[in-house]
Amino acid sequence: MISYFVRRFLLIVPTFLGITLITFIILQVVPGGPLEMELMKLRGMGAPGGEVGPTGTGTSGAINIPESALEEMKRFYGFDLPIHERYIRWLGNLLSFDLGRSYVYAEPVWDVITQRFPVSIYFGLIGFILSYAICVPLGVMKAVKNGSVFDFTSSVIVFAGYAMPGFAFGAIMLVLFGGGSFWDVFPLGGFRSDDFEYLSFSQQILDQLYHTVLPVAAYLTGSFATLTILTKNSVIENLSQDYVKTAFAKGISEKKVIFKHALRNSLIPIATGLGHFLSLVLAGSFLIEKVFNIDGMGLLGFNSIIQRDYPTVMGILVISSFLMLIGNIISDMLYAVIDPRIRFK
């Protein structure tokens, strides 16, 4: 089995090259690149989607750009080289852990991305833990009480959440609890209050939680259904297995049969998703972040694409695909750990 995982790790290299190569080419070939955007700005036509542009607009009249300046700009963006050389150069920098500088933020891409890690990890982790902590027990309850009123009502709620987009749910909650015409319970948005640094430690915790409730609720609404129903079906299936009969015949109480014997087997298909907790550092949803005014990974990703901030786009891609590939392998390993019947060859 070790040789299987060694092979899997080795296969990361070609997969990774494939992902980056294809994205790199698509990004650079599509029209409307950073150079064109810059020129448009200079010519005073205003940049599309320029609301978040870092450089001020307002230059009036058309300006003729001298050839030498154009060359200079091309060199700045690296467009003076053919595309394969550009890729190889980018790859070479990557090997020395240099993701380049962001065109928009004029900072190293690594710094731009890592600045947003805390926000992503915070929301990602809370969402991840909460969804497992709620869905697994809920699924077990639903399985044990299959067909009951409780089972039916919880299904209705869970599926309603599944059907509703998270940002829409977030918006509704803001209307209800954000201090508009109804109740003033939670803040309208932001990650923390502006005066966060001046608060005492316990106040800081409260303030953080106060800002967390609504966005996390919005993140979670859609994720309940799959996990809950998966758990439920898995438990029901396992409760009808022969070994459960054996456990009952041993004289074990019903509770222990369910939680010791049936649940462990039911968790096998669920636990395999755990490998992807690594990707949490990049978790984020553009729409939800927009609704709650949080400066997270979702917004960054969206804006970098709109503003043709190639180094940042590629930086996010590199990190996320790498974590995804590792996460897949971890999932497989977990699978082998939890289920002794699994042997990879």
Interface with another protein (CB under 8 A): 3, 6-7, 241-243, 245-253, 261, 264-265, 268, 338-341, 345
Closest distance between another protein and the C-beta of residue 251, in Å? 3
Closest distance between another protein and the C-beta of residue 143, in Å? 14
Helix axis angle for 166-177 and 201-220, nearest 10°, is 130
Backbone φ and ψ for 168, nearest 5 degrees, come out as: -65, -40
Q: Pick the closer one to another protein by CB: 120 or 331.
A: 331
Q: Pick the closer one to another protein by CB: 55 or 241.
A: 241
Long-range interactions of 129-132: CB distance < 8 A, separation 24+: 130/216, 130/220, 131/220, 131/223, 131/224, 131/227, 132/227
Q: Pick the closer one to another protein by CB: 121 or 252.
A: 252
Q: How long, in residues, is the chain?
A: 345
Helix (H, G, I), strand (E, B) or coil at 307: coil
Closest distance between another protein and the C-beta of residue 273, in Å? 18
First to last CA, the chain: 6
Residue of 53, 31, 52, 28 lying closest to 42 (CA atoms)? 53
Using alpha carbons only, give the angle 123, 124, 127 rounded to the nearest 5 degrees.
80
Closest distance between another protein and the C-beta of residue 133, in Å? 22
Closest distance between another protein and the C-beta of residue 158, in Å? 25
* Cα separation, 19 vs 86, whole angstroms: 16
Q: Pick the closer one to another protein by CB: 84 or 264.
A: 264
Q: Pick the closer one to another protein by CB: 89 or 245.
A: 245
Tokens in use for 202?
């316990």
Q: Pick the closer one to another protein by CB: 47 or 258.
A: 258
Closest distance between another protein and the C-beta of residue 155, in Å? 20
Q: Pick the closer one to another protein by CB: 120 or 265.
A: 265
Helix ranges (H only) for the chain are: 2-29, 34-42, 67-77, 83-95, 109-115, 117-144, 149-163, 166-177, 201-220, 224-239, 242-250, 254-256, 263-271, 286-292, 297-306, 310-338
Closest distance between another protein and the C-beta of residue 271, in Å? 11
* Cα separation, 41 vs 47, whole angstroms: 6
Closest distance between another protein and the C-beta of residue 1, in Å? 12
Q: Pick the closer one to another protein by CB: 257 or 318.
A: 257
